[in-house]
Chain A
Amino acid sequence: MNYTNGKYVFDIQNLNCYYGSFRAVKDTDLSIESKKITAFIGPSGCGKSTVLRTFNRMNDLIPSARVTGEVLFHGQNLYDPDVDPVEVRRRIGMVFQKPNPFPKSIYENVAWGARINGFKGNMDELVEQSLRQAALWDEVKDKLDQSGLGLSGGQQQRLCIARTIAPRPEVILMDEPCSALDPIATLKIEDLMRQLVKNYTIIIVTHNMQQAARVSDYTAYFLMDRDDRAGLLIEYGVTNEIFTKPKDQRTEDYITGRFG
C-alpha cells in the first residue's frame, strides 16, 4: 500500500508490543488517514486493542507493558523518550468499552478535561458545544448539574464522547464503544461517529463486523498467530474492498463467519 505523507495522521512502523515476556502484537506496519474512520476488527486476543492503545500511550499504565518500533504522529515518534504521554493524550482522546463517566455532574464531566488542560475560554459555551457535538445536548440541557451516573448507558457513552472532544483532540480512539449498549443506543453512536469524522480522525476497535462495515472508511483485520499467539495485522484497506473482495484467505474466512 502506498501512502503519501500529510494525508496521514499516524504511521506505525514495525510495531511490537509485549506484556512481560509475552508478545501481544508483532511486526505491524499501518497508516491512519486523517478525518476518516478506521476500524480494527478481528477475534478477541488478536491485539487490536493493544495497537489502539499505543496511539495515546495508554499502555504505559500497565507496568509490564513494553513497546518497540515506531508510532509516528505527524512524523514524530510517540515513544521517543522526550515525548510526554500527558500531552499526547490531550491531542488523542479516547472513549472506552464501558461508559465510565466520573461520579460528578454532567457539566463537570465535560468541563473537567478542559479545565485540567488549561482551558481559559467560556466554559459554559464549551460544555454546550461539546454536548451538542455528542448529540446529547437536547437530552441533558435541563439537568447539567445532575450526576452523570444517572444517565442511561447510551447517554453515558455519549457523555464520555462529549468529555473526550471538549479538550479539542485531533484524534478520537474508540475501544469497542458500543459493546455495552443496546442496538438503538449503538445506532445513535454510529450516527454520531459519521458526524464527528468531519472534524476528527476516528479509530475504532470493534467486535462487530457489521459495525465496521457500516461506519468505517478503512478496515484493518488482525488475527492471532497460531504459533506464538501474538497479534498480527493480516489485511488493511478500504472497507468496501475488505468486505467484498478480501485478498487474504484468512480475512475472507473471518468475514464469511467461518471462524472467529
Chain B
Amino acid sequence: MSVKPDSSVASYPEDDGLQSFVKRRHRQGLTWRIVFQAATIVAILALLALLYNIIIGSFGYVALQNKIEPESLHVDGMPLEELSKEQLVIILSEHISKGLMRRLEHDQPFTERTRQDVYNLVIERVVEQRVVKSWSLTVSFFKRDEIETFMAGLPQGKLEFRSWLHWNFLITPQSSTPELAGIRTAIFGTLWVIFITVAVAFPLGVGAAIYLEEYAAHVGNPWLRRLNAIIQTNINNLAGVPSIIYGMLGLVIFVRVMEPLTSGAFLGAVEDATTANGRTILSAGLTLAILILPLIIINAQEAIRAVPNSLRQAGMGLGATKWQTIWHHVLPNAIPGILTGNILAMSRAIGETAPLVVIGASTFITVDPNGPFSKFTTLPIQIYQWTARPQDEFRNIAAAAIIVLLVLLLTLNASAVLLRNRYGKKSL
C-alpha cells in the first residue's frame, strides 16, 4: 500500500487558532441551544396565552342598567322578591306586549310555571337589567380608573363583579340577551350528537380494525387482498381529509338524500311535517361518526396489533374458531387500547364545529332536544356563534362556554390516560 507523505496535518487549526476555533463552535452551539429552548418556551407561552385569554374573558366587572327600577314595581310596598306568582304574572302582563305574553303561554302555560320562573321572566322582560358594558379580568384589576370614568357617565348604572360562568349559565337555555343566555340546550345537543356518533362509529370502527388486523392478512383471493390493501390506504387517506369536507358529505347524503330517515318522517316522529328537515341530531351524529371512523380504526388496529401472537396461537391450538379466539383472547387484551383511542376520537368529535355548521346546526334553540330527530345546537356551535357577535358580552359568554368545553374534554382525556395506565399495566 502506497501512502503519500501526509501534508494535511498542517491544514488543521493548531494551538491558539484551535482554541479560538473550538470556542467559536461552542458559542455557536450555545446560541442555538438557547434558540431551541426559546422556541419551546414560545410554544408553552402560546398555550398559556390561550388559557389566560379565556379566563380573563370569563370574569370581570360589568356595568348594569335597569330599564325600569324594581322599586317602581312594588305592590303595596312589598318588594318584588316577596310577591306571589299571581302578582308577578299580573306585573308581567301589564308591561309586555300581548303577543309576547301569548308566546310565553304557548311555550309553557303560566299555570304550570314555578314562581321562580315567573320572577325570572319579570326581571328579564320588565326590569330588563342589561349589561351596558363589560370588562375583562385584567382591565378590572389594573385599569380601575377607566371603569370609574365610564361609570361616572352612567348615573343610573350599577357596577358589579361578575363571573360569566355560573350555575345558571349551565342550566338555562339560549337567549338573545347575553346575560340571560345559557348553554343548557347546547350541552344536551352535544350529548345527544356524541351518543349517536359513538354508537355508530365504535362498532363499525372496531369491526373494521378487527377485519383488517385479523382477517385481511389471511385472505387467499387476490382480488380481495387487493381490495383490503385499498381499504387500508383509503383509511389512512380519510384521516387527513379536512373536517369541512365531511360536513359537505353529511349535508348531501344525510340531510338531503336520507331526509325521510334523518328527519324522522318515516316514523311519524315529527309534529309538523312541513317544517321537518334533515338538519337533525341524527344527521349530525352520523356525520361526525363518519368523520372519526378512520381515527377509531387506526387506534384500534394499533391496540389489536399489540396483542402478542402467542395468545392467538394458544387459542387456535385448543381448537377454537377464529372468532372465538378473537372474542375470548384478542379483544379482552386489546380493549383498554381500543377504549383509549375511542375516547380520544370522541373528544375530537365533541370539539368539531365546521361540519356541523355546514350540515346546518340551528342557530337559536331554546327547547331541549328530545330525541335524534330534534333540531340541535352544540357547545362548539354556540361558542362559534357567540364569538362571531360583535358585542363584548357575547365574547364573555363564549369564553365561559369554552371553559365548560375544555373541562369536559380534559376530563375525557384524563380518563383515557387513566384507563391506559391502569389496564395497560395489568395486561403486561
A and B touch in the complex (CB under 8 A): yes
Q: Is A241 an interface residue (CB 8 A)?
A: no
Q: Is A5 an interface residue (CB 8 A)?
A: no
Contact flags B1-39 to A (C-beta < 8 A → 1, else 0): 111101111111100001001100110000000000000
For the complex formed, measure the closest distance between the CB of A93 and the CB atoms of chain B, giving whole angstroms: 13
Q: Is A133 an interface residue (CB 8 A)?
A: yes
Complex contact B7–A117 (CB within 8 A): no
Report which of A86, A117, A129, A132 forms a contact with B12, defined as CB distance below 8 A.
A117
CA distance A125 to B10 in the complex (A): 13
Report which of A86, A116, A119, A135 forms a contact with B26, defined as CB distance below 8 A.
A86
Complex contact B11–A132 (CB within 8 A): no
Report which of B8, B12, B21, B26 forms a contact with A125, defined as CB distance below 8 A.
B8
Please indicate the chain B residues that have their CB under 8 angstroms from the CB of A260 in the complex.
none
Residues of B within 8 A of A (CB-CB), count = 17
Q: Tell whether A129 pairs with B6 under 8 Å between CB atoms, given A87-B18, A119-B11.
A: yes
Report which of B1, B8, B22 forms a contact with A126, defined as CB distance below 8 A.
B8
A199 and chain B: residue at smallest CB distance: B6
For the complex formed, measure the closest distance between the CB of B139 and the CB atoms of chain A, giving whole angstroms: 47
Report which of A87, A116, A120 forms a contact with B11, defined as CB distance below 8 A.
A120
Please indicate the chain B residues that have their CB under 8 angstroms from the CB of A47 in the complex.
none
Contact flags A65-95 to B (C-beta < 8 A → 1, else 0): 0000000000000000000101100000000
For the complex formed, measure the closest distance between the CB of A15 and the CB atoms of chain B, giving whole angstroms: 26
Complex contact B3–A133 (CB within 8 A): yes
CA distance A79 to B26 in the complex (A): 18
For the complex formed, measure the closest distance between the CB of B27 and the CB atoms of chain A, giving whole angstroms: 12
CA distance A136 to B76 in the complex (A): 110
CA distance A132 to B8 in the complex (A): 14
Q: Is A195 an interface residue (CB 8 A)?
A: yes
Complex contact B22–A87 (CB within 8 A): yes
CA distance A176 to B286 in the complex (A): 61
Q: Is A121 an interface residue (CB 8 A)?
A: yes
Report which of A86, A132, A199 forms a contact with B4, defined as CB distance below 8 A.
A132
Please indicate the chain A residues that have their CB under 8 angstroms from the CB of B8 in the complex.
119, 121-122, 125-126, 129, 168
CA distance A215 to B4 in the complex (A): 24
CA distance A22 to B234 in the complex (A): 51
Please indicate the chain B residues that have their CB under 8 angstroms from the CB of A122 in the complex.
8, 11
Q: Is A257 an interface residue (CB 8 A)?
A: no
Please indicate the chain B residues that have their CB under 8 angstroms from the CB of A120 in the complex.
11-13
Please indicate the chain A residues that have their CB under 8 angstroms from the CB of B22 in the complex.
84, 86-87
Complex contact B12–A135 (CB within 8 A): no
Q: Tell whether A135 pairs with B1 under 8 Å between CB atoms, given A118-B12, A118-B13.
A: yes
Complex contact B12–A168 (CB within 8 A): yes
Please indicate the chain A residues that have their CB under 8 angstroms from the CB of B9 in the complex.
168
CA distance A117 to B18 in the complex (A): 9
B295-348 interface (Cβ within 8 A of A): none
Q: Is A99 an interface residue (CB 8 A)?
A: no
Interface centre among B2, B7, B8, B21 (most CB of A within 10 A): B8
CA distance A127 to B11 in the complex (A): 13
Q: Tell whether A125 pairs with B6 under 8 Å between CB atoms, given A84-B22, A86-B25, A118-B21.
A: no
Q: Is A154 an interface residue (CB 8 A)?
A: no
Please indicate the chain B residues that have their CB under 8 angstroms from the CB of A167 in the complex.
12
CA distance A119 to B4 in the complex (A): 18
Please indicate the chain A residues that have their CB under 8 angstroms from the CB of B6 in the complex.
129, 168, 199
Q: Tell whether A132 pairs with B2 under 8 Å between CB atoms, given A118-B13, A119-B11, A119-B12.
A: yes
A83-117 interface (Cβ within 8 A of B): 84, 86-87, 114, 116-117
CA distance A13 to B318 in the complex (A): 63
Complex contact B1–A195 (CB within 8 A): yes
Complex contact A132–B1 (CB within 8 A): yes
CA distance A114 to B9 in the complex (A): 11
CA distance A121 to B6 in the complex (A): 12
CA distance A114 to B22 in the complex (A): 13
Please indicate the chain B residues that have their CB under 8 angstroms from the CB of A132 in the complex.
1-4
For the complex formed, measure the closest distance between the CB of B191 and the CB atoms of chain A, giving whole angstroms: 48
Complex contact A121–B13 (CB within 8 A): no
A138 and chain B: residue at smallest CB distance: B1
Contact flags A118-148 to B (C-beta < 8 A → 1, else 0): 1111100110010011010000000000000
CA distance A167 to B4 in the complex (A): 16
Please indicate the chain B residues that have their CB under 8 angstroms from the CB of A126 in the complex.
8, 11
Complex contact B26–A84 (CB within 8 A): yes
A139-187 interface (Cβ within 8 A of B): 167-168
Given A129-B6, A168-B6, 18 more contacts at CB 8 Å? A84-B26, A87-B18, A114-B12, A117-B12, A118-B13, A118-B18, A119-B8, A119-B12, A120-B13, A121-B8, A125-B7, A129-B3, A129-B8, A132-B3, A133-B3, A167-B12, A168-B12, A199-B6
28 residue pairs of the A-B complex, CB under 8 angstroms, read A84-B22, A86-B22, A114-B12, A117-B12, A118-B12, A118-B13, A118-B18, A118-B21, A119-B8, A119-B11, A119-B12, A120-B11, A120-B12, A120-B13, A121-B10, A121-B11, A122-B8, A122-B11, A125-B8, A126-B8, A129-B3, A129-B4, A129-B6, A132-B3, A132-B4, A133-B3, A168-B6, A168-B8
Taking Cβ atoms with an 8 Å cutoff, the residues of B that contact A are 1-4, 6-13, 18, 21-22, 25-26
Taking Cβ atoms with an 8 Å cutoff, the residues of A that contact B are 84, 86-87, 114, 116-122, 125-126, 129, 132-133, 135, 167-168, 195, 199
